[in-house]
Amino acid sequence: MKALSFILPSMVMAATSHAAIISSGLRDIVITTDFTGIYLDIDGGGTVAEEAPGWDFNAFFGGEGIADSANFHPVTATVILDAPVLDLTAGQTVGGSSIFASTYTGGFSGSSDHVGNGVGQFASGSEGYIGFKFTTNSSAGPFYGWMRVVLSNTGSTGLIREWAYENTGAAIAVAAVPEPTVLYSLVLGAVVFCYRRKR
């Protein structure tokens, strides 16, 4: 049993490291209700201190406010600086033909009109999807991705539930996640078969 518990995580990491889609898995990071909020490093896989090197996305006031680093551009309706971030639906494609927010030269941009009842807005307290393109901490990319969030404009906390991006520069469908490779499935089947035979 100990051998099996060691082998399976190793196989999962090997299978996902070569995948074109890199996924954070379910994280449920709380977006605080203060101005600082939460700073997310997409390719680093987690949060960083306020405006530390590597931050890509900053959500604050429960998600009512969003700031983007110079390396992160959310999908918006227009390329106008600080255009509202759009709430995408599962299955929509994020890629080269998508419209992304502009940023100040060498700086960042933001959005504060993305939560409400209008077309393309996030419903407060409900799940939605942010599409984005970004450049990694090692200057690779741009890569396209999506982020599942719960944003609030009522003074409540929000959530960054999970995110994923395509590490080849290809477009990605919103809510697409990595699938196990055929080799992974075969190896997993062989491990389970051997384990059952030993019993």
Enclosing domain of residue 152: 21-178
Same domain, 170 and 76: yes
- Is 185 found in the same domain as 121? no
CA–CA dist 130, 73 (Å, integer): 10
Q: What does R_g of the chain's alpha carbons equal in angstroms?
A: 19
The pTM score is 0.78
Count the neighbouring beta carbons within 10 Å of the beta carbon of residue 168: 11
The C-alpha atoms of residue 176 and residue 199 are separated, in whole angstroms, by 38
CB 33 within 8 A of CB 18: no
Name the phi and psi angles at 70, rounded to 5.
-65, -20
106 and 185 in a single domain? The answer is: no
Per the structure, the count of domains in the chain is: 2
- Do 163 and 195 sit in the same domain of this protein? no
Same domain, 12 and 34: no
98: its two tokens: 């998508």
Instruction: Indicate if 192 and 113 belong to the same structural domain.
Output: no
Q: What is the pLDDT along the chain (199 residues), one digit of tens a residue?
A: 444 333 333 333 333 445 599 999 999 999 999 999 999 999 998 899 888 889 999 999 999 999 999 899 999 988 877 788 999 999 999 999 999 887 655 567 778 888 988 889 999 999 999 999 999 999 999 999 999 999 999 999 999 999 999 999 999 999 988 765 443 444 445 555 445 555 5
